Amino acid sequence: MGTPGARRQARGEIERLPSGSLRVRVYAGVDPASGKRRYLTETVPAGPGADREAEAVRTRLLDEVEALRHPRTEERRPAALTGARPRGRKRGELTVAAVARLAGVSAPTVSKVLNGRPGVAPTTRRRVETALREHGYRRPEAVVRSPSIEVVFFGMQSYLAVEVMHGVERVAGAHRLAVGFTDAARQSATGRTWAHDLLSRQPYGVVVVHLGFTSEQHGLLATSGIPLVALDPTGEPEHSVPSVGAANWSGGIAAARHLLSLGHRRVAVIAGPAERMCARARLGGIRAAMAEHGVPLDERLVRIGQWFAFEEGFNHAQELLRLPDPPTAVLCGNDLQALGVYEAARQAGLRIPDDLSVIGFDDIPAVRWCGPPMTTVRQPMVEMGAAAADLVLTLAAGRTPGQTRVELATTLIVRDSTAPPK
Q: Among 3.30.413.10, 3.40.50.1370, 3.30.1280.10, 3.40.50.2300, what is the CATH number of 146-245+383-406?
A: 3.40.50.2300
pLDDT of residue 156: 66
Greatest mean pLDDT range, 86-95, 118-127, 201-210, 311-320: 311-320
Banded model confidence at residue 134, pLDDT cuts 50, 70, 90: confident
Rounded to the nearest 10 degrees, the angle between the axes of helix 277-292 and helix 248-262 is 40
b/e map 286-295, b = 16+ CB within 10 Å: bbebbeeeeb
Does the pLDDT value for residue 100 go beyond 90?
no
pLDDT of residue 84: 42
Region of 362 on the Ramachandran plot (φ > 0 left; ψ -120 to 50 alpha; else beta): left
Least confident among 6-10, 117-121, 271-275, 322-326: 6-10
The string of pLDDT tens digits covering residues 163-177 is 999 999 999 999 999
Tell me how far apart the alpha carbons of residues 154 and 305 are, in angstroms, rounded to a whole number. 18
In this structure, which topology does domain 248-379 adopt according to CATH? Rossmann fold (3.40.50)
Same fold, 6-70+86-134 and 248-379: no
Give the closest residue to 147 by CA, choosing from 386, 396, 388. 396
Between residues 286 and 111, the one the model is more confident about: 286
Question: Considering the chain, what percentage of its residues have pLDDT values greater than 70?
Answer: 81
List the domain boundaries for the chain: 6-70+86-134, 146-245+383-406, 248-379
Break the chain down into helix, strand, coil percent, rounded to 5: 40, 20, 40
Least confident among 1-10, 36-45, 281-290, 392-401: 1-10
Give the closest residue to 235 by CA, choosing from 180, 196, 278. 278
Q: Please report the DSSP string for 15-65 in residue order.
A: EE-TTS-EEEEEEEEE-TTT--EEEEEEEE--STTHHHHHHHHHHHHHHHH
Banded model confidence at residue 15, pLDDT cuts 50, 70, 90: confident
Least confident among 31-40, 107-116, 352-361: 31-40
Least confident among 61-75, 133-147, 206-220, 366-380: 61-75
What is the DSSP code (8-state) at residue 81? Answer: G
**Mean pLDDT of all residues in the chain?**
83
Helix and strand counts by DSSP (H, E) for the chain: 14, 16
Q: Among 1.10.260.40, 3.60.130.10, 3.30.930.10, 3.30.590.10, what is the CATH number of 6-70+86-134?
A: 1.10.260.40
The string of pLDDT tens digits covering residues 138-160 is 665 555 678 899 999 877 667 78
The string of pLDDT tens digits covering residues 223-247 is 777 889 999 887 766 557 899 999 9
Q: What would the mean pLDDT of 196-214 be, rounded to a whole number?
A: 82
For the entire predicted model, the pTM comes to 0.70
Between residues 9 and 391, the one the model is more confident about: 391
Q: Please calculate the CA angle 227-383-338 and round it to the nearest 5 degrees.
A: 115
